[in-house]
Amino acid sequence: MDSTNLPRKYDDKVDLVVTFGGDGTILHAASQFAASSEVPPILSFSMGTLGFLSEWKFAEYKRAFREVYMSGAASERHAVIQGSSSTELSAETDCTGWSSVRGKSMGPTRGARVLVRQRLKVSIFDAKGNRLSTNGDATHDAHAMNEVILHRGRDPHLAIVDVYVGGRFLTEAVADGMIISTPTGSTAYSLSAGGSIIHPLVPSLLLTPICARSLSFRPLILPATTPISLKLSEKNRGREVEVSIDGMRRKDGIGVGTEVRVSAEEFKSEVDGFVGGIPCIMRRTSGGTESDDGWVGGLNGLLKFNYPFGEES
């Protein structure tokens, strides 16, 4: 499917998204709402070889759907990310990322735990300050679940990028490229480029250079409220760099003077719930406590933290 033409059609019609596959499948599903500020809850079943985002095993599909629909969150997509009850909606409730919805017919122990994953808001401007299209839409900001990447592509010369943080000049980066990622995206390309791993509940932006010429340029973790701008410097020997948003490369590269502005998407409180972010339905581990989010165990299982060399089991 061509996600550049479809997202706006889905806004008012979809109450739940179900994915079968790996992280790429979830990213593709989220991209269908890249131009929208409202994303329905995503229920993901892991059927890939390696992934950080897929929460449920397909063998648990009956339990998964039971958890969702019996929690009262079948069509009330804002209620599932709101507060303690689907019948007690309050615009004043703070959005912390985690929520639980008490079951209507399964008893008080039933509930669908939801993690609202932060997204990036991306806009591109030319040297004269005119807005350019991100992925086929020049009138709306694009949203990214994982990251925004500037990369030299097939050009043999390193990219020279002026980096601005909070509107102030930070540095002139000379590298293969730059990555701005969400906490969710910290375990994707940014991790391979030497970036830190950030818990998805930490509101932040991660700025990671790709093969920087200077060994002193280290990845930076910045507050989510701090916007980042990447501007292609006049010093570039190559006249264009590639831009990709969640793995989808922009049709045209950006030239000298073009600026990519990235900020964290804001969570907005409205009468019927929150707008912003990607609500993901999480698997409640059996016998786990309320604070057990499965993130630590999942990270250990995938990255083998402190795993002894030479041991297979």
pTM above 0.95, yes or no: no
pLDDT tens for each residue of 67-77: 777 654 433 33
Range with lowest mean pLDDT among 18-27, 83-92, 117-126, 299-308? 83-92
Question: How would CATH label the architecture of 17-80+96-117+270-303?
Answer: 3-Layer(aba) Sandwich (3.40)
62 has pLDDT over 80: yes
The CATH superfamily assigned to 120-264 is: Probable inorganic polyphosphate/atp-NAD kinase; domain 2 (2.60.200.30)
- Listed in order, the ranges of the chain carrying CATH 2.60.200.30 are 120-264
DSSP annotation of 106 reads S
- For range 145-169, the mean pLDDT: 93
258 has pLDDT over 70: yes
Q: Round to whole Å and give the CA distance between 197 and 188.
A: 9
Residue of 92 and 246 predicted with greater confidence: 246
pLDDT tens for each residue of 85-139: 333 333 333 443 434 433 333 444 555 577 889 999 999 999 888 898 876 566 6
Instruction: Kindly state the percentage of the chain with pLDDT values over 90.
Output: 35
210 has pLDDT over 60: yes
| Helical (H) or strand (E) element with 112 | none
Q: Round to whole Å and give the CA distance between 162 and 153.
A: 18
Question: What is residue 171's predicted lDDT score, i.e. its pLDDT?
Answer: 94
145 has pLDDT over 90: yes
Q: In this structure, which amino acid lies at residue 44?
A: S
Contact 40, 68 (CB under 8 A): no
- Listed in order, the ranges of the chain carrying CATH 3.40.50.10330 are 17-80+96-117+270-303
Q: How far is CA 264 from CA 86, 122, 157, 182, in A?
A: 27, 9, 30, 8
User: Residue 18 in 3-state DSSP?
Assistant: strand
